[in-house]
Amino acid sequence: MNPINQFVQIVLVETSHPGNIGSVARAMKNMGLSKLALINPKKFPDPEATALAGNAGNVLDGARVFRTIDEAVKNSKVIFATSARERTIEWPVASAKDAAQEINQLAAEKIEVSILFGREDRGLTNEELQLSNKHLIIPADPEYPVLNIAMSTQVVCYELYQASQSKPIGPWQDFPEYTAEELTHLIEHFNETVFNLKLIDPANPKQILTRMERMFRRLYPDQMEGNFLRGFLKAVNKQIK
């Protein structure tokens, strides 16, 4: 099995139109992908999804439905979020082509990756975007850079397929990376410690905690690094009680 198919998950967040789910499934199958996760879809299963999926019914049949993004991506170690919006605090960004090359390497190292696609009308919220390690951008004409969800997924899946045709280099890490769930717990532990040390005003934290979350998600800590940090934070909290 192609590693990208085995280790890459497409995640659709609160899709309104079932036809879009079917179109995404078709786009995925065209490019050799099959892992689809749905976060609170408005209508699913639905005949319109089945009709627009064409011969990709197996992708729809295997789709998993979740209540939250956290549940869907908890085992992923790297998360990309598709975004076209400007942010007050910039997040690491990769074009669809560059992201696909990186994801191909991650999949070859058996690292699970999730790619988030937002709602048809407003995309992903700032809070949801912050769950990602990087934002994935599809370059388009600035006069009209709007792609619907099926188009966006088709472009990303195409780039993934193209990337999968090249041979990745061998893995270099000696310990597995933290999963998204483990990394979130580390960030929460860090924030708790910051408040306990009274380093910032809880009523007015400004943007520092968001910036620190960006740092942690950018670093991709592995199990040994993350566990040491958790132990360090635990010791700090013990000393100040």
Whole-number Cα distances in Å, 37 to 72, 74, 96? 7, 12, 20
Top CATH class of 3-164 equals alpha beta
pLDDT at 55 over 90: yes
Check: CB of residue 19 under 8 Å from CB of residue 48: yes
- pLDDT at 166 (0 to 100): 84
pLDDT at 89: 72
- In CATH, 180-240 is 3.30.70.1230: no
Per CATH, 3-164 and 180-240 having the same topology is answered no
- Quote the longest CA-to-CA distance of the chain: 61
Token pair recorded at residue 197 = 């040390």
Check whether 147 has a pLDDT greater than 80: yes
* The model's pTM: 0.84
Return the domain boundaries, the chain.
3-164, 180-240
Which position has the higher pLDDT, 206 or 229? 229
Alpha-carbon gap, residue 28 to 43, rounded angstroms:
20
Whole-number mean pLDDT of the chain?
Answer: 93
Residue 142's pLDDT is: 87
pLDDT of the residue at 86: 61
Statement: residue 240 has pLDDT above 80: yes
Task: Report pLDDT digits (tens) over 111-143.
Answer: 999 999 999 999 999 999 999 999 999 998 988
Mean pLDDT, residues 13-27 taken together:
98
| Cβ contact 103:133 at 8 Å | no
